[in-house]
């Protein structure tokens, strides 16, 4: 990482050059920041990397004229420049937030960045959903998404009521989960597939993963399920509850 070049205050924006054609403010500092690196990219997705409290944040531009930045994740966060209008049209839940508590954080000046932080959102999963909402850089969505990313997408779909956004992709993701269910030797993968199966209403896949988890685990003297590494499943893996099936069954991909 490049050595710090200067300290930015609340009045000094971070500038990304060579991305949108001419220099322009990408982020406005709300506290003292130290610039670690500015990355130039030939494409409009990866535009800048900055150090904020020693955390490297990548900014992905999904709308050049976007008025909102969403920061997702905690340990390895990403930021997405998006159009708040597109989010409002995509989901009533986004609309409620944008006209509610998110609106209260919008700066009065257009020169300042409107930033919303979603620490509990899985960045790569949110990136896929935002790409679909904005119809932006769709060719960059991998055909072979990791099963953990698919699981997190299913969770975000439920949270933000975005079933209609992913319906045309759901069959492809379900096929990946089905193929993986018969070959993986990792319990953590099977737990993720179990989530996907419930989220998409595929009870045959749900039953298959439960059976495989049962054959790949054992009980200790306290009645806890242990995986092949001796870890207690209840402590290291999260299984979907009954409510998840009811909420997510709108996908209903069979």
User: What is the pLDDT confidence band of residue 250, given thresholds at 50, 70 and 90?
Assistant: low
User: What is the pLDDT confidence band of residue 42, given thresholds at 50, 70 and 90?
Assistant: very low
Average pLDDT in the 179-189 region? 93
> Which candidate, 85, 197, 62, 43, places its Cα nearest to that of 132?
62
Average pLDDT in the 208-212 region? 93
Neighbouring CB atoms inside 10 A of 28's CB total: 20
Instruction: Enter the DSSP assignment of 233.
Output: H
Q: What is the pLDDT of residue 37?
A: 31
Percent with pLDDT over 90 in the chain: 53
Interstrand relation of 33-34 and 225-226 (parallel, antiparallel or unpaired): unpaired
> Which candidate, 77, 248, 90, 240, places its Cα nearest to that of 154?
248
Q: What is the pLDDT of residue 110?
A: 80
Q: What is the pLDDT of residue 183?
A: 92
Six token digits for residue 131: 């790409």
Q: What is the pLDDT of residue 5?
A: 35
pLDDT at 113 over 50: yes
Percent with pLDDT over 70 in the chain: 72
Where helices occur in the chain by DSSP H, the ranges are 84-90, 92-98, 123-134, 147-160, 163-181, 187-199, 203-215, 233-236, 242-248
pLDDT at 152 over 90: yes
User: What is the pLDDT confidence band of residue 18, given thresholds at 50, 70 and 90?
Assistant: very low
User: What is the pLDDT confidence band of residue 235, given thresholds at 50, 70 and 90?
Assistant: confident
175 CB-contact burial (10 Å; exposed 0-12 / middle 13-18 / buried 19+): exposed
pLDDT at 148 over 50: yes
Average pLDDT in the 60-71 region? 95
């Amino acid at each position: 990482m490049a050595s710090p070049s200067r300290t930015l205050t609340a009045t000094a924006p971070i500038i990304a050059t060579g991305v949108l054609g001419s220099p322009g403010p990408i982020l406005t500092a709300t506290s003292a920041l130290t610039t670690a690196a500015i990355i130039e990219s030939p494409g409009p997705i990866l535009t800048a990397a900055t150090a904020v409290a020693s955390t490297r944040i990548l900014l992905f531009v999904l709308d050049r004229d976007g008025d909102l930045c969403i920061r997702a994740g905690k340990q390895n966060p990403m930021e997405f420049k998006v159009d708040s209008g597109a989010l409002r049209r995509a989901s009533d839940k986004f609309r409620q937030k944008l006209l509610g508590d998110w609106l209260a954080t919008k700066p009065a000046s257009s020169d300042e960045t409107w930033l919303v932080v979603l620490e509990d959102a899985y960045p790569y999963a949110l990136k896929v959903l935002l790409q679909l909402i904005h119809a932006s850089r769709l060719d960059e969505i991998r055909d072979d998404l990791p099963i953990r990313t698919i699981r997190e997408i299913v969770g975000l779909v439920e949270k933000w009521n975005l079933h209609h956004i992913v319906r045309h992709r759901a069959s492809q993701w379900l096929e990946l989960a089905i193929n993986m269910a018969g070959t993986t030797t990792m319990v953590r993968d099977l737990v993720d597939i179990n989530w996907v199966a419930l989220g998409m209403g595929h009870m045959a896949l749900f039953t298959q993963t439960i059976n495989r988890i049962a054959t790949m685990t054992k009980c200790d003297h306290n009645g806890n399920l242990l995986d092949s590494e001796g870890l207690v499943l209840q402590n290291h893996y999260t299984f979907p509850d009954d409510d998840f099936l009811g909420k997510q069954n709108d996908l209903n991909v069979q």
